[in-house]
Amino acid sequence: MKPIILLVLSCAVLAGCRTNTPAIDTGQASLSSLITTNNPGDYPLPGAWDGIAKVTVRTGFFATGDGRTEGDEPLRFDRFTLSSPPIPSRFIWSDKVRWYVYRASLPPDSELIAAHKFSALIESFGESQDPTDGVIDSRGASWTVDWRFFSPGSNDTIETVSVFCMIEHRQGEDDSDIEAILVKRGIMKPAKR
């Protein structure tokens, strides 16, 4: 066979072996494809995402006590994980930042401020991602709970919200009160390379 024909055949075979997988970039489409995957695993995000989570709500201890010093925090995500069944969960994280769970939309601050009972937050968010052991005495019990969520935003962004609450349950009551709440919101953008 002549060398030119071999070269043409080789190119045709190689072109036929290519997959139709699009190149991964830092765009929203890539994040969307990760969010919709049904294959459990740990995936690198298409580039790191950076932002600042700013305090948007302070009540109770966080508004009047030593908790006033709690401030903004830098965030950086570079991983996406889909956990295995029976309860698959989609979350973003990095070695330095705790994980944020996917939600199609994030609750507004007004909804969080309006929640005065722990059961309202459980109904909205499910079980806390990080409950503490708390303290129990003759009057009742107190503990803290924490939720962190992300959702794709507009213009190639990821929006985040973290909700940290101090909960108190008084002896003889059916539900527990939210004594203090701290909400932080962030807008993440692809890191500049």
Is 15 a member of any domain? no
pLDDT tens string 171-183: 888 899 999 999 9
Residue 104 has pLDDT above 70, yes or no: yes
Find the domain containing 44 and state its range. Answer: 25-190
Distances in Å between the Cα of 98 and the Cα atoms of 54, 91, 162, 175 are 16, 10, 11, 29
Helix boundaries (H) for 36-189:
61-64, 109-114, 118-125
Q: Is the pLDDT of residue 24 over 50?
A: no
Q: Which stretches of 18-95 are DSSP H helices? A: 28-35, 61-64
Is residue 28 over pLDDT 80? no
What pLDDT, on a 0 to 100 scale, did the predictor assign at position 88?
67
**pLDDT at residue 187 greater than cutoff 50:** yes
17 vs 56, more confident: 56
Q: Quote the pLDDT of residue 158.
A: 93
- Note whether residue 19 is domain-resident: no
Average pLDDT for residues 145-150, to the nearest whole number? 92
Note whether residue 8 is domain-resident: no
User: Span 53-69, mean pLDDT?
Assistant: 86
Confidence class for position 64, pLDDT limits 50, 70, 90: confident
Could you read off the pLDDT of 38-51 as tens digits, one per residue?
888 888 887 889 99
Residue 77 lies in a domain: yes
Strand runs labelled E in 63-173: 73-82, 90-93, 100-102, 135-137, 140-152, 158-170
| Structural domain total, the chain | 1
Residue 104 domain flag: yes
Average pLDDT rounded to a whole number, residues 62-77: 83
Residue 17 maps to a domain: no
**Structural domain contains residue 18:** no
Residue 86 lies in a domain: yes
pTM for the model stands at 0.77
